[in-house]
Amino acid sequence: MKFGREILLRISGLLVLAVLWQIAGHVNHSPALPPLGRVLHTLYYFIRDGTLTPHIFASLWIISIGIGVAVFGGFVLGLLMFRYRCIKAAVLPVMEIVRGVAALTLFPLLIVLFGLGTFSRAFIIFWTAWPAVVISTLNSLNVDENVVDAARVFGAGEWRIILSIRTPMAAQGLITGIRIGVGGGWIGLIAAEMLGATRGLGYFLLWSSQSFQFERVYATIIVIATIGGIMNGILLLIQKQLAKLTGVT
């Protein structure tokens, strides 16, 4: 009973939005705001004939590359910055400056240098995500020093403490940084695909809007939002499981 009530509360906002959307579509009579029913019919058509499938896989492939590099590179850099103060002193000011540069402002330059291929779009995701991973790594590695001191008593070196004690205890914070990076990277990817791509959800969204097929536009937006929510939900589930394993709430 409690579980069902929680589910109802979680979807209540979506239900209200759906009702308002349907009403607004019928009242407005504008092709730019079709009723939700027509949008869902178009979405069903997409699912049935696989219209969006190649675009979905294209976008997921690019974000997998960009996030993978950002997580690995950001985590390693965060470890080095935590372990060596000289690296932190040298890198942190640079990172604070460059993180204020929006990834999409670099996209025209990337197109000139590397073209419209995978690298340019993956770099947009990397650029958006890596600061969050680095910062979450730095902050999360500051764990209970009593545990660290106990490990030192038994002769553990600093790198062993970092890899065997600090990193497992910091796992939840690291996942939070990855969630932030994935969310920002997904938004950046869709925008980059709208600026320059021949395949992907952003490309299909722009093509649909330019051809005034508004049902397709809204259906694609629903797919984009759903995929973003699924990715965040998976990471949140992993985070909760880590909390149970480590006993941290």
Which helix H or strand E contains 45, and what residues bound it?
Answer: helix 36-49
pLDDT in tens, 170-184: 888 888 888 988 988
Query: Rounded distance, CA 60 to CA 227, Å?
Result: 9
Q: What percent of the chain has pLDDT over 70?
A: 94
What integer is the mean pLDDT of 222-237? Answer: 91
Q: Which residues contact 181 (CB under 8 A, 6 or more apart)?
A: 67, 70, 71, 74, 128, 129, 130, 132, 133
The more confidently predicted of residues 102 and 136 is 136
Residue 228, pLDDT score: 92
223 has a pLDDT exceeding 90: yes
Cβ neighbour number for residue 57 with a 10 Å cutoff: 12
* pLDDT recorded at residue 72: 93
Confidence of residue 12 (pLDDT cuts 50, 70, 90): confident
Higher pLDDT, 149 or 206: 206
Type of residue numbered 54: P
| Residue 49 burial (10 A CB sphere; 0-12, 13-18, 19+) | exposed
Report which of 247, 232, 181, 200 is spatially closest to residue 55, judged by C-alpha positions: 200
Residue 190 to residue 180: CA distance in whole angstroms: 16
**Average pLDDT in the chain:** 83
Cα–Cα distances in angstroms (integers) from residue 74 to residues 94, 122, 247, in the given order: 14, 15, 26
Residue 248 pLDDT > 60, yes or no? no
Which pLDDT does position 221 carry in this prediction?
A: 92
Domains of the chain, first to last: 1-30 (no CATH), 36-246 (1.10.3720.10)
Q: Span 17-35, mean pLDDT? A: 80
- pTM value is 0.84
Residues 60 and 202: beta-carbon distance below 8 Å:
no
pLDDT value at 35 more than 80: yes
Measure Cα distances from 51 to 16, 160, 189, 206, 213 in Å. Answer: 29, 50, 20, 15, 14
Q: If pLDDT is split at 50, 70 and 90, which confidence band does 96 have?
A: confident
